Structure 1
């Protein structure tokens, strides 16, 4: 499956990269060949689901259950994942592109079309239950609803342009003021997804989805980790570092006094070296290497 099967023409997407949530409508059976509830049930009930591929989310608060509570070594204890679901808890199925070739193809096609680093997860929530509470992701989330119905209450970003390295919710959480706002303020909008719906959720948008039908909700998420200017800075820096490691002059020893007593001379040499290396870069070759890196890593 290709990205355009989910969101329409790629040229339109590339030139008008969405910064607002939007839903793409398809027929209910459009994505039945991607993943089914029956396949997930088989993984769970045959005890073939490795611990690295599943996270249990508490019914009470949406928090993550500590893995030692339900795993022995690399595998969940037999029956524990099913028992968790039966009690109303949700599960997050991680890196499904490493388990299903068709999801690996989708992941690779999405990455090739957008240059965004991608992965594929899934979420299974029992009927009328909720998994994660309000949070935001540091990447675009492309949600494909496969089974059941799920409502997504949304708030506009409180953190602009978060990344995995900067203002990541997993590390930052909420301030007291933000927590109070989310507890007392109705969502800015709500979106209810049904099978065949694809939902584009830009990074930073706050959400806390919950199942609204009696049957369980299953959706996959294709994470699109966008390339940023800081990513390109990092790529150029890596090229300069590789060049410096091979450069005879750059391999000269810095005596302790060069750093402790009077580091200015060494810093000035380094600054000029980096400026010269940047000026001397072959822009065409550098961009080609950046594009190859974006498509493959």
Structure 2
């Protein structure tokens, strides 16, 4: 499988990266081969999920760390007991658990140049794991079992990044919390087995299970390459090339740096501007392509 097995018109998506939610439909039986409810239940009951791969969620909260055996495995029965009281189990970095998902993840990385990780979410009937939050990357949601509703609000932060983007870091302002508490969702998508949902970064969402069956879905997080990333790669290349220049390797006298650094700052700024202007575009393009391709390695 590759990206085309999950979404339509991959060439168009790669050319015009979608910035609005999009819903695709696939054969539920084909998607079920990715991971199944039976596989999750077997891993849970056999106590085969290491603590590093498991996060327990309930009613919008990430629960405190649970008791371990030897610091690595959850205490026996912990995960099943959490499910029995309506808790959500998130299996993180699922590509490290199932080889076929590792292959698919690598194929998507090769196609897009994005860093990708795969998580799974198992939520009991009538329950909710995380409440309103947003992610600093595209989330490709693959519904495998049950039904899950996705209420959405447009982004509060335009093009959020990891440094300020998700609900564990930036959070919501007081005004944003009031807005979410008193405003109906702008859109709601209800996913059923076979649905694949493209959720652009920044969209605020609060998914919950609908119906009498548990919901199981995968999320493929596509960590997009941004102009900030490209600027970092170009600056890294300039500094790498600059190591051959003795002028840049020269020391700054402590008195200049600590008391009157203006001259050193001006000289360094002019040096960087000049070096960036001298970068050959073809060389920079090759550097960027290789850096993006490293996602798949």
Per the alignment, residue 48 of structure 1 pairs with: 48
Q: Of 67, 71, 90, which residue of structure 2 is paired with 1:70?
A: 67
Does structure 1 residue 6 correspond to structure 2 residue 3?
A: no
Query: What secondary structure does 1:29 align onto?
Result: helix
Query: Would the alpha carbon gap of residues 153 and 201 (structure 1) be closer, same or farther in structure 2, given more than 3 Å must change?
Result: same
Q: Which runs of 5+ in 1 are unaligned?
A: none
- CA-CA distance at 1:187 after TM superposition: 0.7
Alignment coverage as a number of residue pairs: 294
Residue 202 of structure 1: CA displacement?
0.6
Q: For the residues of structure 2 that align with 1:237 and 1:138, how far apart are their CA atoms?
A: 23
Q: Distance in 2 between matches of 1:70 and 1:246?
A: 53
* SS of aligned partner of 1:165: coil
Conservation of the 8 A alpha-carbon contact between 1:154 and 1:206: yes
| Secondary structure of the structure 2 residue equivalent to 1:199 | strand
Query: Which position in structure 1 is the counterpart of 2:268?
Result: 270
User: CA shift at 1:246, angstroms?
Assistant: 4.1
Distance 1:168 1:246, change over 3 A: farther
Assess if the C-alpha contact under 8 Å between 2:135 and 2:165 holds in 1: no
Partner Cα separation in structure 2 for residue 235 and residue 160 of structure 1: 22
1:98 equivalent to 2:91? Answer no
Alignment of 1:185-200 (within 5 A): 185-200=183-198
In the alignment, does 2:31 pair up with 1:31?
Answer: yes
Deviation at 1:116, TM superposition (A): 1.5
Taking the aligned partners of 1:27 and 1:10, their CA distance within structure 2 comes to 18
Which residue in the other structure is 1:156 paired with? 154
TM-score by length of 1: 0.95
Q: Secondary structure of 1:146's partner?
A: strand
* Residue 147 of structure 2 is aligned to residue 145 of structure 1: no
Aligned equivalents of 1:168, 1:87: Cα separation in 2:
27
Distance 2:286 2:115 in 1: 17
Give the equivalent residue in structure 2 for 1:208. Answer: 206
Structure 1 Cα separation of the partners of residues 117 and 276 of structure 2: 32
TM alignment of 1:164-179, pairs within 5 A: 164-179=162-177
Structure 1 residue matching 2:169: 3-state secondary structure: helix
Residues 32, 168 of structure 1: alpha-carbon distance in 2 compared, 3 angstrom cutoff: closer
SS at match of 1:290: helix
Extract unaligned runs of 5+ from structure 2: none
Alignment-derived partner of residue 215 in structure 2: 217
Q: Would you say the 8 A contact 1:140–1:226 is kept in 2?
A: yes
| 1:31 partner SS | helix
**Contact 1:10–1:113 (CA under 8 A) maintained in structure 2:** no
Range that drifts further, 214-223 or 248-257: 248-257
Aligned to 1:192, the other structure's residue is in SS state strand
TM-score in terms of structure 2 length: 0.95
Match of 1:122 in 2: 120
Pair 1:280 & 2:245 matched:
no
